[in-house]
Amino acid sequence: MASPTRGAFIVIEGLDRSGKSTQAAILHSRLQGPEQSAKAVLLKFPDRTTAIGKMIDAYLRSQSELDDHAIHLLFSANRWELATSICAHLAAGMTVIADRYAFSGIAFSARKGLSYEWCRAPDVGLPAPDLTVFLDVEPEVARARGGYGEERYEQEGIQRGVRAMFERIGEEMNRDGQGKWVVIDASKEKDRVARDIWHVVESLAEGVDAPTAKLWQ
């Protein structure tokens, strides 16, 4: 068998408080572990450390107001500013894990009433994930996990609408063969969810023998 040409690109998506950051960190350390030869890098969107990310952070903490279209484009620009480095990591054989990606971009903005097609357009052509793991929880379960209500969007009604958008995105991804979208029940206990994630990720841990696709192209 030919050796893989690049690392895999894995996205973890879900509602606020679905356990994404916890599970992304567990997956990251597992991929870095002594038995696996592949090294991994963990990214988080929004990346609040860049100049654009700081504008997004102020908006999320309600310290600034922005037109819905403007904040949508900032979230997208925040991904584009990391696109080259994602490709470089993959080419170097690293597994790239992203905690949220373009799917959050569409789901949160389209829920506000912006056109789905308009929301998708600025992310067309980004590096496409090989696998997206959607951590599914009922919005009331997420709310009960605490820490809710500190940021914009952390309200059960909003999260319910966002979840419906994610469902549509996932169905379309699988229908159009745009990289696998797998739904995992994230209401289970942490170690069980980590095992379920590993089950779908394991085959990608050694890398992928195909060029990185461009999202929605």
Q: How far apart are CA 194 and CA 204, in angstroms?
A: 16
Nearer to ligand TMP, 26 or 208 (CB): 26
Within residues 2-41, the interface with Mg ion by CB under 5 A covers 16
**106, 123 in Cβ contact below 8 A?**
yes
Q: Report CA torsion sign: 53, 59, 65, 67.
A: positive
Shortest Å distance, C-beta 63 to ligand TMP: 14
Residue 100 C-beta: closest distance to ligand TMP, Å: 4
Partner from ligand TMP, Mg ion, none binding residue 103, C-beta < 5-8 Å depending on class? none
Per-residue mark of binding to ligand TMP, 69-98 (x: CB under 6 A): ------x-----------------------
Sign of CA dihedral 29, 34, 40, 41: positive
Q: Nearer Cβ to ligand TMP, position 170 or 207? A: 170
∠ Cα 148 25 52 (to 5°): 65
Of 152 and 195, CB closest to ligand TMP: 152
Candidates 116, 148, 153, 216: give the one binding ligand TMP (CB under 6 A).
153
DSSP state of 192: H
For ligand TMP, the binding residues in 155-214 under the rule CB under 6 A are none
Which of 150, 118, 153, 122 is closest to 139 using CA atoms?
153
Q: Under a CB-based contact definition with an 8 Å cutoff, are residues 10 and 27 in contact?
A: yes
45 binds, among Mg ion, ligand TMP, none (CB under 5 to 8 A by kind): ligand TMP
16 binds ligand TMP (CB under 6 A): yes
Report the distance separating Cα 20 and Cα 32, nearest Å. 18
User: Phi, psi at residue 9, to the nearest 5°?
Assistant: -110, 115
Q: Which residues pair with 98 in a beta bridge?
A: 11, 43
Give the one residue of 7, 14, 19, 46 binding ligand TMP; rule: CB under 6 A. 46
For Mg ion, give the closer residue by CB, 16 or 123: 16
| Residues in touch with ligand TMP (CB under 6 A) | 16, 45-46, 60, 75, 100, 104-105, 108, 153
